[in-house]
Structure formats: C-alpha cells, structure tokens
C-alpha cells in the first residue's frame, strides 16, 4: 500500500487519538454501523484531500466500512497530525500522503499521488483536487462520479466555475448544510482559533483588543468566543447587513484603518486576500499579533511584510517576529489556518456533523451515479434535519414534535385573529 508519512512509529499514539475523537462522533458511529452492513460504497475508489486529523481519520474509517478504497492527502501543508497519519497507514491500511510542514512541491506530489489512484469520488477542503482535475489531469474527469467540497472558500471557487461553465464534475457543497456551517464554522472555528492562538502565544485574552476581520459564520463564532474570554472585540466587515448584525450582537464595528491603531490581536476569517495589507501593518501598535483562520494563507500580506521587514526570527513555535520600521509584528502559524497549525483543528463534536454530511454525500453520488448532473448540489432539508436529530440523540437530548393540529395550522391560512 502506497504512503508517505513522517514516522510510522507514532502509530500507537495516533490510534489512541483517533479513538478519543471517535467518542465524540456519535453520528458518524451510527453511519459507520449502517455502512458496514449495507456497504453502499462497495468497490468505489475515494480520493480525499482533507486535513489529516483524528476527526478525518474517523471519516475514513466510516468510508472504509462502507466498502470504499481510499487514498488521503493533506488539505494544508501545516495541518497534518503525524501520529494520526502513521496510524492510518499502519493500523488501518489507508493509503495516506501527508507530512506536517511539507513544502509546496511535496504538497502537490501528494495531491497527485491521490489522483494516481483514479478516484471515482473526491473529497476536497479548498477545491485543490478538483482544480488539478480541471487543469493538469483533465483526462480523468470522465472517471469521476462526483466530488464533495467541505469549505466556504472551495464552494466559492466551484460556484464561480459553474457560472463560467468551466465546471465539468458534479459537486456536493457540504458547507451549505446547516448541520455543517452553523456548527463547524461557528463553534468549531470559534473555539479552535482561540485554542491555536493560546497554544502559540500563551497570552491572556482578557482585556485585549481583539480584532475579528469578517463576520460570516466563522467570524461570528470567533467574536463570541473571544468575548467569552474577556477580550474587547472589534469587528471589521464590508457587508452592511453583517456589520449591523455585529453591532446588534454588541460588538464594536469600525474600519480597518481605525482598528489597526488600537488592536492587540488581529484574526482574519474572510476568505479574501490582503485583508491585512502592509499599509495596515505599518500603522499597528508595537507587538501586534496577527493570525489567520481563513482557508488560504492569502489574508495577511506576509510576502510584502517579509520584503519590507528589517529582520525576522522565530520566537516560539508558530510565532515569527518581524521588525518593521522599528516595531515588532508577530505572525502566527505563517498566516496559515492557525487552528490547525498550532492546535488540533475543530473538536470532534462538530466535525461529527460535517463528516456525516461528507459520508452521506458520497453515498448520494453512488446511489445516483447514472443520473447526476454537472452542477453544485446541496443537501436536502430532510437529510440535514436527520443529521441534527441523530446528533441530538447522540447527546441524549429528546425534543418535542408538533401535534397534528399544530402542523395543520402552520400549513394553512384560514385561521386568523
Ligand atoms: N477543519 C477544521 N478542523 C478540522 C478537523 N479537526 N479535522 C478535519 N478538518 C478540519
């Protein structure tokens, strides 16, 4: 079985980590049991480019239980958990290509190794496999039944491709599911981003001016969790509705040019580039800390900073100090996803639902393989609600149901005052 991981001797520790995460993944566990019985993915080759974490490992086990042949590579050069990668290979016989800190060449070698297995379904977190399939590996497109996309950034790319008629593969927008973005993006990013910042810096957040750039689901979660830690949270947002929401959620909202003068910690979660430009950094306070939790490392203009800075040194793991016109600017995790670079990504409790969506989307593609269209699919409301129901059940929570009379009232118009 082909693989490229750092150290197979880490497997025992990785296995414990995978099992620990599995304890909080009740929905996946139920799916795994059904998949083991029904084998809905029998003989299907799945190629995944996802963050190689204990949570992803649990998804791989469910897909394998469903009968799939698997190959997995890292969704980001810094997000791999080496022990988990080792365990996937050694304990679970899953072809894994992922080394934490791999350079861009190795990153692409690993993507290509996954595509070399000729997957019929791909799973992306940022559309890298789909991009390769549409550029350098076009010949493989007819082999594809469909592709799942995990993240907002990837779906933006795919919708742009669909609009331009450049999309050639049916894709499933996992991020569109309520059981994905309302939980993973909000509570997952909220908690894991703070976790990454705290592990990297060991700084107290209470009393700090904490600037959140972007008030989508990730920004909302991050702002609310930072407030919970006692930080004074400032939100930067270009969308007037989201900005208004942030105001009414009780946050200070201002322009970047005003926030840079007072902020202690800045975190980008926008999905766009150059959100923190060199011109901003030049006007920040001495000692400002900058981190990114958006998918790509484009949100902070690090290459401009590198060119202009007089000196750079690593002061702690995942903390680089730049001297910029006599001031110190700290960049965490090289501007890559700080929650996965310096911490362990989102907790298993939320990845449970995200990955239940991944598994069900794969099953959907196989079941409908003869009539899926080249378009961006989203989950049905019914299936989304079912995942939430299973999650509640796994948490031991029972909710009420509408009476027949209440249901009728909600679908009729005759009853008034
Ligand atoms: N994305 C964010 N957190 C993650 C995790 N724990 N595993 C896989 N993908 C993630």
pLDDT in tens, 321-351: 999 999 999 999 999 999 999 999 999 999 9
Average pLDDT for the chain: 97
Q: Residue 202: its pLDDT value, please?
A: 98
Q: How far apart are CA 326 and CA 305, in angstroms?
A: 13
Compute the average pLDDT of residues 122-139.
96
Compute the average pLDDT of residues 103-120.
98
199 band by pLDDT with thresholds 50, 70 and 90: very high
237 in a known ligand binding site: yes
Kindly state the percentage of the chain with pLDDT values over 70: 100
Q: Residue 417: its pLDDT value, please?
A: 72
Q: Among the atoms of ligand 1, which is closest to the Cα of residue 337?
A: 2
Q: How far apart are CA 334 and CA 347, in angstroms?
A: 22
Ligand 1 center to 304 CA (angstroms): 29
Q: How far apart are CA 197 and CA 202, in angstroms?
A: 8
- CATH numbers and ranges of domains, the chain: 8-180+346-394 (3.40.50.1480), 190-341 (3.40.50.720)
416 band by pLDDT with thresholds 50, 70 and 90: confident
Ligand 1 center to 173 CA (angstroms): 16
Kindly provide the residue ranges of all beta strands, DSSP E only, lying in 34-162, ordered along the sequence. 45-50, 69-74, 95-98, 121-124, 146-149
Ligand 1 center to 354 CA (angstroms): 9
Q: Residue 49: its pLDDT value, please?
A: 98
């Amino acid at each position: 079985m082909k693989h490229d991981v750092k150290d197979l001797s880490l497997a025992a520790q990785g296995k414990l980590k995978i099992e620990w995460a599995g304890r909080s993944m009740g929905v996946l566990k139920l799916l795994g049991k059904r998949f083991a019985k029904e084998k809905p993915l029998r003989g299907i080759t799945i190629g995944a480019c996802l963050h190689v974490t204990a949570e992803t490992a649990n998804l791989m086990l469910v897909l394998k239980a469903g009968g799939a042949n698997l190959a997995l590579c890292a969704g980001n050069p810094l997000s791999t958990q080496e022990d988990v990668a080792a365990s996937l290979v050694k304990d679970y016989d899953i072809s894994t290509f992922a080394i934490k800190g791999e350079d861009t060449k190795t990153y692409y070698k690993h993507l290509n190794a996954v595509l070399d297995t000729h997957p019929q379904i791909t799973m992306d977190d940022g559309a890298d496999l789909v991009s390769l399939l549409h550029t350098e590996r076009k010949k493989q497109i007819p082999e594809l039944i469909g592709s799942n996309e995990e993240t907002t950034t990837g779906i933006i790319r795919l919708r742009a491709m669909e609009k331009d008629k450049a999309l050639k593969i049916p894709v499933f927008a996992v991020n569109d599911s309520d059981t994905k973005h309302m939980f993973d993006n909000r509570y997952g990013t909220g908690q894991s981003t703070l976790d990454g910042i705290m592990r990297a810096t060991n700084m107290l957040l209470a009393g700090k001016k904490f600037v959140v750039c972007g008030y989508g689901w990730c920004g909302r979660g991050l702002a609310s969790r930072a407030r919970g830690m006692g930080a004074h949270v400032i939100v930067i947002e270009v969308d007037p509705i989201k900005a208004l929401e942030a105001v009414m959620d009780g946050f200070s909202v201002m322009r970047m040019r005003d926030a840079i003068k007072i902020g202690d910690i800045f975190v980008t979660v926008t999905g766009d580039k150059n959100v923190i430009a060199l011109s901003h950094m030049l006007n920040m306070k001495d000692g400002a800390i900058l981190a990114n939790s958006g998918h790509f490392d484009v949100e902070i203009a690090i290459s401009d900073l590198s060119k202009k800075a007089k000196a750079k040194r690593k002061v702690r793991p995942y903390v680089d100090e730049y001297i910029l016109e006599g001031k110190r600017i700290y960049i965490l995790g090289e501007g890559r996803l700080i929650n996965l670079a310096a911490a362990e990504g989102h907790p298993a409790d939320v990845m449970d639902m995200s990955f239940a969506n991944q598994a069900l989307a794969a099953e959907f593609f196989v079941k409908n393989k003869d009539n899926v269209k080249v378009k961006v699919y989203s989950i049905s409301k019914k299936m989304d609600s079912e995942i939430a129901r299973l999650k509640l059940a796994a948490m031991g929570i029972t909710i009420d149901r509408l009476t027949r009379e209440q249901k009728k009232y909600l679908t009729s118009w005759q009853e008034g005052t």
